[in-house]
Structures are given as structure tokens and as C-alpha cells.
Structure 1
């Protein structure tokens, strides 16, 4: 993976839940390097440790033992508040469930991370409109989630994740609730954010067709990394029945 300092590095990371006879070790000595601008698909069966690894990478959980370095800083030594600040500054999250506020417009949903930062209203409005345009939802700012399709709702969720201009986008089964066409459109959008903006994408998925868009595929099994292989021919926009400029539905 090269000799330069990676953006993210896990060194012999373990994670244990519970104590004594009820203890369960979800991660068992994981080592992982992620370079800035990478696009990594994390795969594995249920219970393999991939979701725990994603929670650790997203600073939502702390390793039991081992080291987690982000831009060379030791995340495992940070307090809860310091990890929250790191998330706000550098990380964006997209989930299988879109997690949009139901009685709130697309623009207001996208503005939420900026509201938490205390940014002025005019700045929030402009940034949210820009993020929505970037995901193909220009003109849909005032529509609520009930007026949007599943694919559009996920686009709003992605806009919310990128409105803070994060270094890393963590996507947990981002196409799990979508049909094949909408799934490919979302993957093409993630591909473009990675290639055009240089956003590092870390994506948990069960679907090989979606992992095919990534640059690397990391597989977990029984709490360990089972393999870490480059994808020699990542899918590009226009492949697998998708369109280079996806139709908004």
C-alpha cells in the first residue's frame, strides 16, 4: 500500500463486548491501511466484524486494544467529545435507512450538520443547495421525504453527508433499501464523489454488484480480515445498465 502515512490505519485492533463468560470478541487483531482518495468495499457475512470495524473507523466506538490512527493522530486516546469533533470535521455518514426527518424539507435535512456547527443561516442555505445540486436534486430543495422516492431520499442523505465537505464518507449498506436501477445510480454517485472530489469512500455491503464499483475489496470473517484485494477493473458510470447522468426518481 506504499510507505507514506495513510489517511487511516488500524493496528492490531480488537473489540470485546461484555465481560467474563459473556464476553464476545467482535474484532480480533485487525490491521488495515486506507489511503486518501481510496474507495474500499467492506464485505463479510453477518457477525463477521465488518459493522464493528465500520463503527470503529467512524469514531462511533473505541477499540478495546490496538491503535487507530487518523491523519497520524491516535484516535483511541481521544475523549468522547474529541471523537465527536473529529466526526464533525472529517467524516460523513450514509446508512441503509435514510434517517431523514419526516416533516422537514430536503434542504432542511441537508442543513442539519451545519446547524450543529452553529453556522449562519445564509451559509447553511447556500451549502445545502450546492450539496443537493451535486447529487442531482437541484429544484427539489423544498420537497419533504414523503414526496421523494427511495432513490431520491438516499440522495438527500448523501447530500447531508457531503455538505460539510468531509475527507471520508462512510456508507453502511447504502443501497440495501433500493431496487437494482436506483442502487446502480447511487453507486455511480458515490463513484463520482470519489473520483471527482477525491472523497475517500468506505462502504459496507453484502452485494458483490455494488462492491464492483470500489477500488479495493476487504473481506471479514470471524472478527478478522480474511482478505484485502484490489479491484482490477472497477465499474464506471454507464456500466451495468446505469446511465452516466442518472434520472432523478
Structure 2
């Protein structure tokens, strides 16, 4: 069997010490292969955010092992984890997190600016990323001039512009109406299917989770179920 993109073995995450300690994750084992699309669900306090923070190299486990393409992430320094985030991971959030006083183009260029890419190259890559999410020609608009769905598309373009292997989406449709939510989920499905980008998404919406290949449910810091789903018949995602 080929090496997975992500492998978690007996991962724990504890906050605080003594009587005030809280165990957010309690021995999580999880394998995610290249090209997978995984929805993570669970009630409040189940450990979803802690798991996503560890997968996104924003936090480290208290115990256990996290391997990304065989690399032991928990052994990396803070700077090394930042480099891994910068070059291999893309993030999409519920609140879009766009800079209000800059254009869509400039928002998408931002990760490339942090990487030190020349301006001409940044502009070219940002335009291509915007086109890939259906916003060709919208780069000069500010976030205030865009709908919620368009703002989330800009946020996805910003996540894609660095060419990540893994896209982490935290409630990506939480601020959108039903129609816009379906548009975003179809877009994530297309990126997963056509570009081979691995997607891990936290959601509390069962109908959005239907687009994923797998649904992993957390309860009290443990994986309660990990179910692979049948392919959807409507041309968008799975169910």
C-alpha cells in the first residue's frame, strides 16, 4: 500500500494541567490518501477544531504521531511547520478573512508576497487562480463589491494560488445561503476531482458532507465512525 498523504497515530491533544486539564483529542488514528475528500463532523466540543489545527500545522499533538508524506510533523520546529504550511497547505475559513481595503487580485496575491515571489509572477498566478474559481475579470473588485459566494471563491483562489497538496476548509459554507453553498461545494468537488487536490472539510451541515468521499465523525475527542460514501448521481460531489 502506498504511503498516505496524512497519517495520524494515537494523536492526543491536552489543554491545561492538573484538575483543569481538558483532553480535546483522545488517541485519534486517521489515514488520508492523496486525492481524498474528507468531511469531519461532530458536536461542539468533539475535537474538530483541535484536529484541524493539528492537520494544518497550526498546533502540535500532546502525544502520538502526525506524518505528512512520511515527514514527522511533530518533530519540526515552528519555522519548519510554517514552511510546510506555506508550500503544501491551503486554508479556507467560514468568515472568508479577506482584506477589506484591497482588491480580489491583491488578496489572492498575498500568500505569494509572503513567499517573496516577484510582482509580475504574483499577478500572473493570482489571475490564473481567480479564473480557476470562475472569477476571471473580477480581480479589480473589492470584497465589498462581491457577493458572499464570490468572496468565498476569492478565499479559495487565495488558498489555491500556492499550489497546495491539501486544502483545509473550516465550515466553508457556514455564512452562505443554500444556493451559494452548493456552488462552493461543487467548486471544491471539481478541484478535488480535476486537479487532484486533497480536501479536508469541517462542517456541521449533513447535506454539505454528502459531497465528500468520506465522513469522519468525532465524539468526545475520538473517531466514532469513518464511512466511505457512494458517488452522487447529480454530477456534483458524492453522497
Q: Answer yes or no: is 1:228 the counterpart of 2:226.
A: yes
Contact 1:191 1:236 survives alignment (8 Å): no
1:125-168: per-residue Cα shift (whole Å, max 9, x none)?
00000000000001100000000000000000000000001000
Contact 1:213 1:236 survives alignment (8 Å): no
Structure 1 residue 237: deviation in Å? 4.0
Q: 1:132 aligns with which of 130, 134, 147?
A: 130
Q: Answer yes or no: is 1:15 the counterpart of 2:28.
A: no
In the TM superposition, what are the counterparts of 1:1-249 in structure 2 within 5 Å? 3-234=1-232, 236-237=234-235
When residues 45 and 136 of structure 1 are mapped into structure 2, their CA distance, relative to the original with a 3 A threshold, is: same
Structure 1 residue 238: deviation in Å? 5.5
Give secondary structure in 2 for the equivalent of 1:92: strand
Q: Which whole-Å CA distance do the structure 1 matches of 2:237 and 2:199 have between them?
A: 19
Q: Which whole-Å CA distance do the structure 1 matches of 2:147 and 2:133 have between them?
A: 14
TM-score, normalised to structure 1, is 0.94
Q: Which consecutive unaligned segments of at least 5 residues does structure 1 have? A: 241-249
Contact 2:215 2:229 survives alignment (8 Å): yes
Structure 1 residue 234: deviation in Å? 3.7
Structure 1 residue 235: deviation in Å? 6.2
Q: Which consecutive unaligned segments of at least 5 residues does structure 2 have? A: none
When residues 236 and 203 of structure 1 are mapped into structure 2, their CA distance, relative to the original with a 3 A threshold, is: farther
Give secondary structure in 2 for the equivalent of 1:101: coil
When residues 67 and 234 of structure 1 are mapped into structure 2, their CA distance, relative to the original with a 3 A threshold, is: farther
1:48-76: per-residue Cα shift (whole Å, max 9, x none)?
01111011000000000000000001000
Structure 1 residue 5: deviation in Å? 1.0
TM-score, normalised to structure 2, is 0.98
Contact 1:212 1:235 survives alignment (8 Å): no
Q: Which whole-Å CA distance do the structure 2 matches of 1:230 and 1:144 have between them?
A: 40
